[in-house]
């Protein structure tokens, strides 16, 4: 592990120094070495910072590489030219004291870095890493996700900057702040740059140092240091960049780790589903900040309690790639997806095409999914969540124990609320079932069931398909592999034998169809 020369020189900033450096920002050092009594038989490693007096400097080989801090007293001659990076300290101080300060600083930085590495390897949170930076950096630092939601910050360092305070208060940048970012071109700037120093005081009375983190080219996190306690000197910026190495690891770990909990790092959807959340206007703005269109949404629920975390992680990452606008979270052993849909003349055709790829992926993974209706107000998300759950429950129940085959569907393991609405509306309690079974329609289906049992026929299926196809004999015949004349004949015979009533009466048809749906769920057992 190495530190920069900038970080070390801060330890001797009180002395008057002169630098003769060509590549100061790129110089990384693996330690500090002291030369007091001339050259030894074992010269220091080439990546060490050498501390010496003027006489030792003259005795150093003129080889390039490495860096030297030369301590020159008032009577020492001017150091000559050297191929090494050179820092001259002109002060009444001994090389030993300068070495002691630089060496202590080196190990202080290394200890900080090692503590962060050990904590991260031990499974700590990003917040814990941030809190470790207080003594080293001393400035307020905030990390936000792609929706400008506060993920972690140096909570132990107060900051009187108004934007920082509002973000801490709200947990994210409110709409007014984001509007200011957009109007001044900062959002576009952040999309195009990975690092910046803003000392123009456009948003803050302090200098801001920011770093953008991307995964697969996508903006996933943003860290901003507000220099409210210490100026944005070279050493502070280098220390901040060292901290950012760990922030980047968290972003990469959350993106690449196959654990479902790690892949699904965004909590915006969790906030939406929370019963305590009421600021839907603010959340709508956060969705717009994340690129969601001003159109509509739909919500999908995928049970994942029976599959491995690696599969869930893969499915989550594939979902991010498939959908133009999506938020994903893991909630009670279900993968929950909020998908943004932009309306056009053809409705939500683009979103439907994206969804088809996702549904095909579910089929590949042998997973089921409940899908809500489209909704335009984000405040309806909890109702959409229940819609998707109702569709999922009805669909899974029918898939396991349907007494009548459903009308063919492209995705047998995907259950749309609009398609399963009738099933979702049925009251499936025992009392209702008993009352239905003894009613006219229930008894009619019981008679058909008895005919099917005796004759080995499929009249229940025929009647269901006939009603679902709006009594169109041709389409019913195609679905049942019958000639249309056979359909007409069998339906007429069935109406008489089972005493179904007049199928020209919409009330009769509705009652029979709802009864068939009830029968499909539970059968007609007494």
Q: For the chain, which ranges sit under pLDDT 50?
A: 39, 257-265
Q: How many angstroms separate the CA atoms of 142 and 138, rounded?
A: 13
What pLDDT does residue 25 have?
A: 56
Give CA–CA dist 258/114, Å, rounded: 25
Say which residues have a Cβ less than 8 Å from residue 151's Cβ, sequence separation at least 6. Answer: 126, 143, 144, 145, 221
- Between CA 231 and CA 234 the distance in angstroms is 9
pLDDT value at position 292? 76
3-state helix, strand, coil in the chain (%, to 5): 50, 20, 35
pLDDT, residue 321, reads 75
pLDDT value at residue 57 = 78
How many residues would you count in the chain?
Answer: 526
Distance CA 392, CA 277 (A): 25
Contacts 24+ apart (CB under 8 A), 322-325: 322/354, 322/357, 322/358, 322/361, 323/354, 323/358, 324/291, 324/350, 324/354, 325/290, 325/291, 325/292, 325/293
Residues 6 or more apart whose CB falls under 8 angstroms from that of 28 comprise 2, 3, 4, 47
Quote the pLDDT of residue 174: 78
**Percent of the chain whose predicted confidence (pLDDT) is above 90:** 24
pLDDT of res. 96: 92
Per-residue pLDDT at 331? 76
How far is the CA of 416 from the CAs of 297, 349, 351, 405, 521, in angstroms? Answer: 14, 16, 14, 17, 17
Instruction: Find, among 71, 81, 87, 6, the residue nearest to 34 by Cα.
Output: 71
């Amino acid at each position: 592990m190495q530190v920069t020369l900038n970080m070390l020189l801060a330890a001797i900033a009180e002395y008057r120094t002169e630098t003769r450096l060509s590549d100061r920002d790129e110089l990384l050092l693996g330690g500090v070495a002291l030369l007091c009594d001339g050259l030894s038989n074992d010269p220091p490693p080439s990546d060490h910072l050498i501390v010496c007096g003027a006489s030792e400097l003259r005795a150093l080989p003129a080889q390039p590489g490495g860096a030297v801090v030369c301590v020159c007293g008032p009577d020492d001659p001017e150091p000559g030219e050297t191929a090494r990076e050179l820092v001259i300290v002109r002060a009444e101080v001994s090389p030993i004291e300068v070495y002691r300060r630089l060496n202590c600083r080196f190990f202080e930085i290394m200890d900080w870095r090692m503590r962060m590495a050990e904590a991260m390897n031990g499974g700590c949170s990003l917040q814990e890493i941030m809190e470790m930076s207080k003594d080293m950096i001393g400035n307020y630092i905030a990390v936000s996700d792609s929706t400008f939601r506060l993920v972690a910050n140096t909570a132990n360092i107060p900051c009187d900057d108004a934007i920082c305070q509002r973000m801490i208060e709200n947990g994210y940048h409110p709409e007014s702040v984001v509007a200011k970012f957009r109007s001044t071109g900062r959002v576009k700037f952040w999309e195009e740059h990975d690092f910046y120093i803003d000392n123009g005081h456009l948003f803050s009375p302090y200098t801001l140092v920011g770093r953008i983190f991307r995964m697969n080219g996508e903006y996933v996190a943003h860290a901003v240091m507000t220099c409210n306690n210490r100026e944005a000197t070279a050493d502070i910026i280098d220390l901040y960049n060292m901290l950012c190495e760990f922030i980047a690891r968290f972003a990469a770990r959350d993106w690449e780790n196959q654990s479902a909990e790690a892949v699904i790092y965004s909590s915006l959807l969790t906030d939406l589903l929370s019963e305590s959340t009421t600021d839907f206007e603010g959340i709508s703005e956060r969705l717009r900040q994340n690129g969601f269109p001003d159109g509509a949404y739909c919500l999908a629920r995928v049970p994942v309690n029976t599959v491995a975390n690696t599969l869930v992680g893969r499915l989550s990452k594939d979902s991010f790639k498939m959908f133009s606008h999506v938020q994903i979270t893991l909630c009670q052993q279900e993968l929950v997806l909020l998908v943004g849909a932009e309306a056009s003349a053809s409705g939500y055709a683009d979103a439907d095409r994206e969804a088809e790829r996702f549904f095909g992926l579910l089929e590949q993974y042998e997973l089921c999914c409940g899908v809500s209706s489209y909704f335009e107000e984000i405040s309806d998300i909890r109702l959409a969540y229940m819609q998707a759950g109702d569709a999922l429950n009805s669909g899974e129940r029918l898939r396991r124990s349907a007494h009548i085959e459903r009308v063919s569907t492209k995705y047998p393991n995907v259950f749309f609320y609009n398609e399963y609405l009738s099933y979702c509306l049925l009251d499936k309690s025992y009392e209702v079932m008993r009352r239905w079974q003894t009613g006219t329609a229930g008894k009619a289906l019981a008679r058909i069931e008895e005919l099917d049992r005796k004759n080995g026929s499929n009249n229940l299926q025929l009647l269901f398909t006939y009603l679902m196809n709006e009594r169109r004999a041709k389409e019913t015949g195609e679905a049942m592999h019958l000639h249309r004349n056979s359909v007409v004949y069998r339906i007429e015979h069935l109406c008489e034998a089972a005493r179904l009533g007049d199928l020209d009466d919409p009330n009769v048809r509705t009652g029979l169809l709802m009864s068939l749906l009830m029968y499909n769920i539970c059968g007609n057992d007494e």
